[in-house]
């Protein structure tokens, strides 16, 4: 069996599961946010059940419109707060907040061998912890909150092998954008993407989270990594319960094995209106931008802010460009503050926000007007994703986004930072 099949088999009580097989699997963690939780709560209440199956295994996070941006957002958050308070559910809100997919790993709530489902498509972010994690609809979440089980089809696994050593400004975002550019937004449809190879081994946990986060943009059910020493070093100070590390069998059957040599890979940029519309930054051309956003569940971690700070230090954001920087959690915010990164950002002319999903979904804190262009470290650039349907979103890594903020056009960090 593959890594994903091993984990799912362990959660069914079966010795073996096969791709395409429908199973009932027990879940270790269920997640919802201030947009999706109220829908799940309404469905749950229709069951006529008062208690969730295990309040320690249900987590709700206010992050998409928190702090509340308007009355509707406030009502959504209140539904979630009241439900959690009444049932003793783990709940993260303003003050101890964070973007859910940044927050949960750093709180030690997800560990190797877990099955995690979330009412958010980017739940696949947790794969670097050696867990099966997948986004599902709010009705599925309601059923799981009642029963502790989920019904799903076992996905086949595609192994992606990355050879070589990447350059200074190339990271996890570039590897996944390049991959999606190669296989398309449906190139891994309802599969598990397993990421391996020496370039993956060299990546930090932050870089791996970025890759797993965008597995859904290739149509995948999940993205996953094998547990190594970096994983264990990340987990050790955070874990509060036992966990099980699984490894794929040596004779595991993969649907496909796809190999890339990324030694000479440039930073990548996805042009509108698809993550698969990807080019090396040197081939993008002269594209002026109105806004740069650095943050989100894709690139809102400390390593991402460090990269942005390397580019923005002693520089100024272009006079015609807005730069918005959003730490992914309060912990990331504090670490950035202690390291002096926040001062670098503000002196450069950037706005720094409390943790929130905000602009990524066109919610608030950076919505685009008609005719505006934004380069962003977020994960989607569909029509109208960040505001007006007549706006454009370009996806890139934090260093490229920061360099573009300085130049007022899409630019490589090598144009701004002279070695």
Encode pLDDT of 310-364 as tens digits.
999 999 999 999 999 999 999 999 999 999 999 999 999 999 999 999 999 999 9
Tell whether the model's pLDDT for residue 305 goes beyond 80: yes
**What per-residue confidence (pLDDT) applies to 157?**
98
**What per-residue confidence (pLDDT) applies to 418?**
81
Strands 22-26 and 149-153, bridge-based pairing = antiparallel
Write down all domains in the chain, each with its CATH number in brackets.
Answer: 3-260 (3.30.499.10), 269-413 (3.30.499.10)
The average pLDDT across 108-137 equals 97
Tell whether the model's pLDDT for residue 279 goes beyond 70: yes
The average pLDDT across 286-298 equals 98
Across the chain, mean pLDDT equals 97
The average pLDDT across 109-118 equals 98
Percent of the residues in the chain that have a pLDDT greater than 90, as a whole number: 98
**What per-residue confidence (pLDDT) applies to 281?**
98
Span 48-103, pLDDT tens digits? 999 999 999 999 999 999 899 999 999 999 999 999 999 999 999 998 889 999 99
**What per-residue confidence (pLDDT) applies to 410?**
98
Tell whether the model's pLDDT for residue 419 goes beyond 90: no
The average pLDDT across 192-202 equals 98
């Amino acid at each position: 069996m593959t890594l994903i099949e091993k984990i799912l088999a362990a959660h069914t009580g079966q010795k073996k599961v096969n791709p395409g097989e429908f199973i009932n699997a027990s879940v270790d963690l269920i997640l919802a946010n201030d947009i999706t939780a109220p829908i799940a709560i309404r469905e749950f209440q229709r069951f006529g059940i008062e208690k969730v199956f295990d309040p320690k295994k249900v987590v709700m996070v206010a992050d998409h419109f928190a702090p509340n941006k308007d009355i509707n957002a406030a009502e959504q958050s209140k539904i979630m707060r009241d439900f959690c308070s009444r049932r003793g559910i783990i709940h993260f809100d303003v003050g101890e907040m964070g973007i859910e997919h940044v927050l949960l790993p750093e709180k030690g709530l997800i560990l190797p061998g877990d099955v995690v489902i979330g009412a958010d498509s980017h739940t696949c972010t947790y794969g670097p912890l050696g867990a099966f994690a997948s986004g599902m609809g709010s009705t599925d979440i309601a059923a799981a909150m009642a029963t502790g089980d989920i019904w799903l089809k076992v996905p086949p696994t595609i192994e992606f092998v990355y050879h070589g050593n990447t350059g200074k400004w190339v990271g996890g975002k570039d590897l996944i954008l390049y991959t999606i550019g190669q296989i398309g937004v449906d190139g891994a449809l309802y599969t598990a993407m397993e990421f391996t190879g020496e370039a993956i081994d060299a990546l930090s946990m932050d870089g791996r989270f970025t890759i797993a986060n965008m597995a859904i943009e290739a149509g995948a059910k999940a993205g996953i990594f094998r547990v190594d020493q970096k994983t264990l070093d990340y987990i050790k100070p955070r874990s509060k319960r036992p966990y099980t590390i699984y490894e794929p069998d040596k004779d595991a059957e993969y649907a496909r094995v796809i190999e890339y040599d990324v030694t000479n890979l440039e930073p990548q940029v996805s042009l509108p209106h698809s993550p698969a519309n990807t080019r090396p930054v040197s081939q993008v051309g002269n594209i002026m931008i109105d806004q740069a956003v650095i943050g989100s569940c894709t690139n809102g971690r400390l390593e991402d802010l460090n990269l942005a700070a390397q580019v923005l230090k002693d520089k100024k954001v272009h006079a015609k460009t807005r730069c918005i920087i959003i730490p992914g959690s309060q912990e990331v915010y504090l670490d950035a503050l202690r390291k002096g990164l926040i001062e670098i950002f503000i002196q450069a002319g950037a706005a720094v926000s409390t943790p929130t999903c905000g602009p990524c979904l066109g919610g608030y804190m950076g919505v685009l007007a008609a005719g505006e262009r934004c380069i962003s470290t977020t994960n989607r650039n569909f029509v109208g994703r960040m505001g007006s349907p007549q706006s454009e979103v370009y996806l890139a890594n934090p260093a490229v986004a920061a360099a573009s903020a300085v130049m007022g056009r899409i630019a490589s960090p090598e144009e701004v930072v002279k070695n």
